[in-house]
Structure 1
């Protein structure tokens, strides 16, 4: 176990979800025990996920079936972060054609953003993950971007951990659209600073006192390191132990999973 962070100084914890809390519909060990300990030691926490497919209520329902207790205020998804960013960018309103699922659609609508089904009428094309996307929708998005619509992505994760293994993620869809249009998207989710900053603002904490826990180096860990946050990598998802260890800026902690993170907190606090 690599260890450099002083967990005694950590007052808040951000946890990725896919590959950290669960893989597909299968829960990973130690989640509720860790959350209980954080609450008992007066540490705040937030699930921060690049998965844009679900609404906060749907995330809460999913983890409840796994015996994990949380409310909607404990969820920050890339869909919510993207919708908030668009509302700030376009205070007078904007028309969006989206590739995505309920989580993205509802996040946009809750920010008062007009979601259109006529791609040529859109000011912005937004792509998140869509597990049933059709070619024609991708073609419509491509033509609109080529005609001048702004191109925005919820996150750049090229793969997505599932029970079957790693399947195409949002980044794969963005790569397809970029290849077809020659336009590079503006990406909002991790590893970009905005999503981490939204999370810390929500918890009222600083970077130095906020631990980021993730399974993917290039999004969860690299983005947090850039902001000066302590980091804990778990080996239950995408990135291998060797890749974490040999990274130019490795995480402070490399752990098999959340039970070991709980042990590390207990040891630090003792």
Structure 2
């Protein structure tokens, strides 16, 4: 299970898909980006599934209903049913239903995924602040969401209507790069209304509760690309995690991670589900070693040595380099800036540093 203060990545002699019964997989930036499958995702998930691992897809994106997400996954070659998909829309709908009476009107500021989740909980979506809503529910509405909807939310919240948000991710991966997420839209309503929403999505407890209720996982592994949602959520829930570098988080952010943002395992992509993971070991003088890689803090900067460094390093050597850099940075206090010298160590990882 996750340590209170992690100073190095963890070890697993067995493949991760043999150790954990359920993978709780984030979607955007992990399985797909901009609607297209991330490299190696389809084959890796097929192998894990064939080995007996249950795959559940857990997303803070409240835009699409689970059936639509499952259909998209199946089109990409990742067979999934609606019951395999858990969204922050479902988590926030349960939160509202726990606090509002059945049949309560809820001002919907979001897409079809949030609408269906509210109806599933016996709530009645409405479109105007003039409809006397008992609550406001806000979720990601897509890149073309009308500005007028934020105005409706602002009117209701300023009038004292309780406000709930599916999640507060400031950004979302897209096929063209990083785009504004629901958190950016929440800030618009916050500025207009002066209110403060109750939030359901990762990394907060309502989302973890929703996930466990729907999957029945006994020994789950959270797999994500974001430190502040996926990894922090795993830390808060007391479960292990795997960070993949195919989405939002880059190597520099990982090395500076505060304790609650430090994953159990790190890797390039979903291939890391199918292998064991070697933990770095202390190597004297504050250095850490793993395989042929060695890292240490020197003169306020991070230094990477051995065959984990350089553009010619590939595969396991790159991962060894990443693991020792994490250990050196985290054990020294990864939340501090390394005076700009972190850039040299990241560059030394070659292609992984740009993942």
1:257 Cα shift?
0.5
Deviation of 1:5 after TM superposition, in Å, equals 4.8
Aligned position for 1:268: none
Secondary structure, aligned partner of 2:276: helix
Instruction: Output the CA distance in 1 between the equivalents of 2:21 and 2:73.
Output: 24
Match of 1:4 in 2: 10
Q: CA deviation at 1:51?
A: 0.7
Q: 2:180 aligns with which of 168, 183, 192?
A: 168
Name which of 124, 130, 133 aligns with 2:135: 124
Aligned to 1:98: 108
> Quick one: distance in 1 between partners of 2:126 and 2:110?
13
Matches within 5 A, 1:165-204: 165-204=177-216
Q: Unaligned 5+ residue runs, structure 2?
A: 1-7, 278-355
Q: Give distance in 2, aligned partners of 1:5 and 1:143.
A: 52
Q: Does the 8 A contact of 1:5 with 1:230 survive in 2?
A: no
**Length, aligned pairs only:** 262
Q: Quick one: structure 1 residues 5 and 202, their matched pair in 2 at CA, closer, same or farther if it must change by over 3 Å?
A: farther
Q: 1:58 and 1:12 mapped to 2: Cα distance? A: 22
1:223-261 superposed Cα distances (whole Å, 9 cap, x missing partner): 111221111001111011221232122111111111233
Q: Secondary structure at the match of 1:115?
A: strand
Over aligned residue pairs, what C-alpha RMSD do you find?
1.7
Higher RCO structure (Cα 8 Å, ≥6 apart): 1
Contact residue 255 and residue 261 of structure 1 kept, 8 A: no
Provide runs of 4+ in structure 1 moved above 6 Å: none
Which residue does 1:145 correspond to in 2?
157
* Aligned twin of 1:40: 50
Instruction: Indicate the residue corresponding to 2:257 in structure 1.
Output: 247
Indicate which of 203, 221, 227 corresponds to 1:211: 221
Pick which of 240-249 and 150-159 moved more: 240-249
Cα distance between partner residues in 1 of 2:205 and 2:73: 26
SS at match of 2:76: coil
CA distance in 2, matches of 1:42, 1:178: 45
With 31-40 and 165-174 compared, the bigger mean Cα shift is at 31-40
Question: Which structure has the larger Rg over C-alpha atoms?
Answer: 2
In structure 2, the residue matched to 1:68 is: 78
TM-score by length of 1: 0.91
Normalising by structure 2, we get a TM-score of 0.70
Q: What is the CA deviation profile of residues 83-128 of structure 1, one whole-angstrom value per residue up to 9, with x for unaligned ones?
A: 1222222243311111111111111122221111221311111111
1:230 aligns with 2:240: yes
Give the drift of 1:39: 3.0
